Amino acid sequence: MAHTTSRRSSRLRAAGILALTTSVVLAGCSTSGDAPSADGEIEPATITFAASTFGDPGLGPRLQELIDEYNQSQDVVTIEPAAVPFPTFGQTVLTQMGGGEGPDLVRFDMPEFTSAADAGLLEPLDDQIDADSLDLQPGPDEYMSVDDTRYGVIFDTSNYVMYYNTTLIPTPPTDFDEFMATAKATTQGDVFGLAFRQTQAEENGVWQDIFNYVYGFGGEWSDGEELTLNKPENIEGLEAYQSLYDADVIPKGADAATFRKMFAQDKVGMELNNGGYLVATRGTNPELQFSVAPIPFPVRAQGAIMAPLVINANSEHKDAALDFMNWVLEPQQQTSLQEALGASSVATVTERSEEQLAETPFLPVYDELTNSSKPQIVLGFGPQTADIRKIVVTEVISALQGQKSMQEAMDDAQAEAEQLVG
Amino acid sequence: MSADAAITARRRGRRKSPLGSRWTPYLFLLPAAAYIVLFQAIPLVQEAYLSFTRTNLLNPTRSTWIGLDNYVDIFTSSDFQQTLLTTLVYVLVCVIGAVGSGLVVALLLNSDFPGRGVARALVTVPWAAPGIATALIATWMLNAQYGIITQALRAIGIDVGASGILDNPQLALVAILATTIWQLFPFVAVVLLSALQSVPAELVEAAEMDGANRRWVFRVVTWQVIKPTVGLIALLMTIWSLRRFELIWLMTRGGPLGTTRTLVIDLYSQAFDSKQIGAAAAIGMVGILIALIVVVGSRFVQSAAERSTP
Amino acid sequence: MRASRLGVTARMIGVLVILGIAVFPIYWMLTTALTSDADLFAETPRLLPDLTRLHVFAEALTEGPTLIWLANSAIIAVGTTVLSIALGIPLAYALSRFSFRGKIAVGLLLLMTQMLPEALMVVPLFSLYRRFDLLDSLPGLILANTAFVLPIVALVLKGAIDGIPRELEEAARVDGTRPLGVLLRINIPLIAPSIAAAAVIAFFHAWNEYVFAVTFIFDKALQPASVGLAGFIGEQGTSTQTIMAVAFMFTLPAVAFYLFAQKYVVAGMTAGAVKG
């Protein structure tokens, strides 16, 4: 590990210089907590890192390995996973941060990232990260700034693809009509052709799922300035979504945890899901025969779960947090992080290893989609995404339940949302 | 000495000081009262203030005063009428269901039979189970394809639709109510059992030996002794029902179509989804107002009942 | 005679039905915990637990910090129970026996505290705790839980004390016993069942409490089981079997506590009772 050690000390020195410069620059603004000593050494500290993925049975342990590697590679900073479970992740972390506390490092999802940045809870990173020297993937990276200030760096970004069971479906569909036909043909007995979330209890999940239909049919929720919830392309995409619901090709009433288990047991033929699902499925059933293909909708644009890594503005050990962030952005860690994540992409462009490609030949499918993926927020209305999401999902579900047509539902949503954002 | 043992010792010490009888009540009250004021009354006052502001969860110290706007929004919203109605139904059914079944269970368990101790302990299981686990197992049991309850219903000829009970606007609330009553009845049973145990056995035996009929004994002796406790439990259950949310949040989140959305679900959504803790506080105040009306109303009912009893 | 035997049988059947309803979902938790993924989606459900898969429990115990969680939950629950009973008994006694100014207001305030949803209290309490450095500590959680549970404990105990004839206390007072002595030697033994009930209420509330625990605790080593359990619900997958196994193990100590409270607390207190 000699070369790591020398790189480590040169990185420490670089970080130290950055920290020193930053502290001089910030001296006038006197923010809380960290003052590196004059020679640029980082104050020894134990800091917390909150990520909802720690609780994932497949991904969690791998992330823990990464952190252990960091902790073992030096003895100045120790990272501990913060104790925040996934079901209440956003509300817990945001309550803590709003109250002046919170974990030092957080892996957020996009709506919470924009809310937190908007509220001034995140440490600006323009002066801390040398963005130009890193080979950051432009697609996701453009969403890391709010109001022209960078607040985060991509930790992982997971593009949505179509997973399909190769035993049940030898040839994947390539357009929507084939998609519907395949779903219908596969649905027999206790096997379903497709699965997606459709209940209010999984509001966030429904929101994520319908993004693919909206983007995939050329629609969008806003043009950056105005809300366009009831755009014709959106309606087309959502009607496609509804047609699948009405065709009874999905296990209605099953929640995501259940139908994902079903997929792993050859009971569901296809599912639109993101890269993180690869590791999860392999973990549930290593014997499963499946592959992935791009989502067969008219437009090649899909949602992605973009997860920025941020530094808490309340943190008392920002230099330590920054050190970890820089460490993660190093090429060697980027590669091992991507390997740990499975099919997701990381901040920089990386190469897949031979073994990875041999084990999972369809990995390039994910990687090629990174720059055509869009985040799952309402662009230009990041902090209000949660509210808009509630309105849209409620209306979509009422259309699914037959209360009104999808057009009416989206018109109502548009009116309600416009009133909300003022 | 651990922190809380030290606190307790300090407070006990305060009680032992031999002051005159005028101060004794206050000494008995002081520790608990100070405690409650600090941890409940202060936040309550803060919440009352917040309800008149627009405040973001992420910046709780920066509030904009907007007067009655939050309340106006609440009362002019058509959704709120549904929320209010759902809340009322939820509260009524929960209280009657839990108190009724809890009473029956307490009466059943109040006699001597082999395994009585074990039976009483087992009855507390629904209450002891963590809410998250209850929500998960209930959702699984109600699963449209594989849930044991759905399959049992299908076996006796009842078809609950392709989406299952929890997705059915007519039935979701029923499922929530059933699960909630299952969770609540042990609490009622435990408290009422302890009340039943303080019914003087001699009185009951004497009445029975005189040949009195069971029902008469219950009405005249037992019921009189446990009536205050039943009243208290009913009142508590009512107030608590206004804030129970874990099961609903995890099982249906207020859906489908808002048919399980109670006041507190709305509050939660406002606070943590929309991040508007001012609006959430206003909803909370409305809930407290309703609870207050219930408490005052029950006082009236109680004094009216007392007046009519000879 | 026949009538009462029918009555006994009916009673027994009633008890069995009640127990069945109460216990079945927990039994189902156990069965589900022991069901393999493939069997979960079988045509006909397994009705009996597959005991060959007990390793799930062993894994749950060793893989996660389950024992630490249970220990933390125990500390929080026992602390809350002790503190709320210690503060609640004098409060209940005062509310029952003394008349003083503001008594009605106090009673009303106690009831009002029960109307506050935890979600509403989290934000103001967070800033309060921050100022007093109570965050990330088990005593902090004990204090928060006691605040919620104390009013109920006091009200339940007040109801019980109300039921004790004043003559008993007056007799003791005439003998020269101070109010505190009356409390200790007369009232407490007589309301023992209600103290046990109140202790169980306090214990169960603190044992299952989630919202405060998840917001105020940052250190993984201090997490109680209620939060740890939620940690098994992941974004991409939920290890249902593990959750059910841990949930099953989480339910047992609370039930055991009830058994303990019923048997020993009541017996211990009535042993030294002064029979009036």
Determine the residue type at A237. G
Q: Most C CBs within 10 Å: which of A46, A63, A84, A274, as the mutation test of the C interface?
A: A84
pTM score of the predicted model: 0.82
φ, ψ (nearest 5 deg) of residue B241: -60, -25
**Is there a contact between C115 and B291 if contact means CB atoms under 8 Å apart?**
yes
Number of domains in chain A: 2
d(CA B1, CA C111) in angstroms, rounded, equals 33
Q: Is residue A367 part of a domain?
A: no
Interface contact A53, partner C, CB < 8 A: yes
- For B224-263, the three-class secondary structure string (H helix, E strand, C coil) is HHHHHHHHHHHHHHHHHHCCCCHHHHHHCCCCCCCCCCCH
Q: Where does the pLDDT of residue C267 fall: very low under 50, low under 70, confident under 90, or very high at 90 and above?
A: low
Instruction: Return the number of other C-beta atoms located less than 10 Å from residue A309's C-beta.
Output: 24
Same domain, C119 and C219: yes
Q: Is residue C255 part of a domain?
A: yes
**Is there a contact between C142 and B11 if contact means CB atoms under 8 Å apart?**
no
**Is there a contact between B167 and A252 if contact means CB atoms under 8 Å apart?**
yes
A379-389: burial string, b at 16+ Cβ within 10 Å, e else:
bebbbbbbbbb
B69 Cα to chain A: minimum distance (Å): 14
d(CA C228, CA C230) in angstroms, rounded, equals 5
Same domain, A51 and A96: yes
Q: Is residue A321 part of a domain?
A: yes
Q: Can you say whether the dihedral through the CA atoms of A117, A119, A121, A126 is positive or negative?
A: positive
User: Residue B55 forms beta bridges with which residues?
Assistant: B63
High-pLDDT (> 70) share of chain C, %: 87
Same domain, C178 and C250: yes
Question: What is the mean pLDDT of the segment spanning C103-123?
Answer: 78
Residue among A342, A371, A368 at smallest CA distance from A356: A342
Helix or strand run (H / E) with residue A230? none
Sole residue written with tokens 């109801």 = C159
Interface contact A190, partner B, CB < 8 A: yes
Q: Is residue A189 part of a domain?
A: yes
Same domain, C112 and C234: yes
Same domain, C1 and C76: no
A32, A2 contact by CB (below 8 A): no
Nearest CA in chain B to A254: B143
A169-205, pLDDT tens digit by residue? Answer: 999 999 999 999 999 999 998 899 999 998 888 888 8
Same domain, C119 and C23: no
Which residues, in sequence order, are CB contacts of A47 under 8 Å at separation 6+?
A77, A78, A79, A80, A103, A104, A105, A315, A317, A320, A321, A324
Same domain, C163 and C220: yes
Residue A10 pLDDT: 45
CA A420 to chain centre: 26
User: Residue A154 forms beta bridges with which residues?
Assistant: A308
Same domain, A71 and A121: yes
CATH number of the domain where residue A68 is located:
3.40.190.10
Q: Is residue A374 part of a domain?
A: no
Q: Is residue A281 part of a domain?
A: yes
d(CA C180, CA B14) in angstroms, rounded, equals 12
A208 Cα to chain C: minimum distance (Å): 12
Q: Is residue C276 part of a domain?
A: no
List chain B residues with pLDDT less than 70.
1-26, 28, 308-310
* Total number of residues shown for chain B: 310
Residue C4 clears pLDDT 70, i.e. is over it: no
High-pLDDT (> 90) share of chain C, %: 12
Residue among A397, A422, A420, A421 at smallest CA distance from A409: A397
C61 Cα to chain A: minimum distance (Å): 15
Q: Is residue A162 part of a domain?
A: no
Residue A38 pLDDT: 38
Q: Is residue A207 part of a domain?
A: yes
Residue C44 pLDDT: 67
Q: Is residue A224 part of a domain?
A: yes
Nearest CA in chain A to B274: A387
List chain A residues with pLDDT less than 50.
1-10, 12-39
The DSSP output letter for A54 is G
High-pLDDT (> 90) share of chain B, %: 21
Measured between beta carbons, the chain B residues lying within 8 angstroms of C254 are 124, 127-128
Same domain, C35 and C70: no
d(CA B117, CA A386) in angstroms, rounded, equals 50
Measured between beta carbons, the chain C residues lying within 8 angstroms of B123 are 18-19, 22
Helix C240-260 to helix B131-141 angle, to the nearest 10 degrees?
130
Same domain, A51 and A82: yes
**Is there a contact between A397 and B256 if contact means CB atoms under 8 Å apart?**
yes
- Record the tokens describing residue A193, joined without a space: 């052709």
Same domain, A353 and A410: no
| Domain encompassing residue A144 | 2-157+305-359
| Domain encompassing residue C167 | 60-271
Measured between beta carbons, the chain A residues lying within 8 angstroms of B145 are 190, 251, 253-254
Same domain, A142 and A239: no
Residue A47 pLDDT: 92
CA A413 to chain centre: 25
**Is there a contact between C231 and A88 if contact means CB atoms under 8 Å apart?**
no
Residue A3 pLDDT: 41
Of B60, B169, B250, the CB nearest to A98: B60
Measured between beta carbons, the chain C residues lying within 8 angstroms of A88 are 214, 230
Same domain, A266 and A129: no
**A194 exposed, middle or buried (CB, 10 Å; 0-12, 13-18, 19+)?**
buried
Helix C138-162 to helix C66-97 angle, to the nearest 10 degrees?
40
Q: Is residue C194 part of a domain?
A: yes
B148-185: burial string, b at 16+ Cβ within 10 Å, e else:
bbbeeeeeeeeebeebbbbbbbebbbebbbbbbbbbbb
- For chain B, the three-class secondary structure string (H helix, E strand, C coil) is CCHHHHHHHHHHHHHHCCCCCCCHHHHHHHHHHHHHHHHHHHHHHHHHHHCCEEEECCCCCCEEECCCHHHHHHHHCHHHHHHHHHHHHHHHHHHHHHHHHHHHHHHHHCCCCCCHHHHHHHHCHHHHCCHHHHHHHHHHHCCCCCCHHHHHHHHCCCCCCCCCHHHCCCCHHHHHHHHHHHHHHHHHHHHHHHHHCCCCHHHHHHHHHCCCCHHHHHHHHHHHHHHHHHHHHHHHHHHHHCCCCHHHHHHCCCCCCCCCCCHHHHHHHHHHHCCEHHHHHHHHHHHHHHHHHHHHHHHHHHHHHHHHCC
Mind giving me the DSSP string for A68-109? HHHHHH-SSEEEEE----GGGHHHHHHHHHHTT---SEEE--
Domains plus CATH for chain B? 51-132+164-308 (1.10.3720.10)
- Record the tokens describing residue A294, joined without a space: 């791009």
Same domain, A293 and A330: no
Helix B24-36 to helix C103-113 angle, to the nearest 10 degrees?
30
CATH number of the domain where residue C203 is located:
1.10.3720.10
- Record the tokens describing residue B279, joined without a space: 């609006």
Instruction: Return the number of other C-beta atoms located less than 10 Å from residue A282's C-beta.
Output: 17
Determine the residue type at B224. Q
Measured between beta carbons, the chain B residues lying within 8 angstroms of A207 are none
Residue C274 clears pLDDT 50, i.e. is over it: no
C64-79, pLDDT tens digit by residue? Answer: 688 888 899 999 999 9
Same domain, A395 and A354: no
Same domain, A231 and A107: no
Nearest CA in chain C to A94: C215
Instruction: Return the number of other C-beta atoms located less than 10 Å from residue A196's C-beta.
Output: 25
Residue B25 pLDDT: 65
φ, ψ (nearest 5 deg) of residue C147: -60, -40
More confident residue, A194 or C112: A194
- Record the tokens describing residue C70, joined without a space: 């249970």
Same domain, A150 and A229: no
Question: What is the mean pLDDT of the segment spanning C11-18?
Answer: 87
Peptide bond into B256 cis (omega under 30): yes
- Looking at C32, C53, C74, the residue that finishes a domain is C53
Q: Where does the pLDDT of residue C237 fall: very low under 50, low under 70, confident under 90, or very high at 90 and above?
A: low
Same domain, C5 and C91: no
Residue B4 pLDDT: 60
Same domain, C71 and C158: yes
The DSSP output letter for A380 is T
The DSSP output letter for C52 is G
Q: Is residue C140 part of a domain?
A: yes
Measured between beta carbons, the chain B residues lying within 8 angstroms of A198 are 163, 167
Interface contact B95, partner C, CB < 8 A: no
Instruction: Return the number of other C-beta atoms located less than 10 Å from residue A148's C-beta.
Output: 6
Determine the residue type at A174. T
Q: Where does the pLDDT of residue C174 fall: very low under 50, low under 70, confident under 90, or very high at 90 and above?
A: confident
Residue A32 pLDDT: 41
Subunits touching C (CB < 8 Å, at least 3 pairs)?
A, B
Residue C262 pLDDT: 72
Residue A172 pLDDT: 93
**Is there a contact between C155 and B232 if contact means CB atoms under 8 Å apart?**
yes
Number of domains in chain C: 2
Same domain, A293 and A394: yes
A150, A122 contact by CB (below 8 A): no
Q: Are strands A77-81 and A45-51 parallel, antiparallel or unpaired?
A: parallel
**Is there a contact between B275 and A386 if contact means CB atoms under 8 Å apart?**
yes
- Record the tokens describing residue A397, joined without a space: 């579900």
Residue A412 pLDDT: 94
Residue C114 pLDDT: 77
Instruction: Return the number of other C-beta atoms located less than 10 Å from residue C145's C-beta.
Output: 25
φ, ψ (nearest 5 deg) of residue A90: -60, -50
**B24 exposed, middle or buried (CB, 10 Å; 0-12, 13-18, 19+)?**
buried
d(CA C150, CA C207) in angstroms, rounded, equals 15
Same domain, C154 and C209: yes
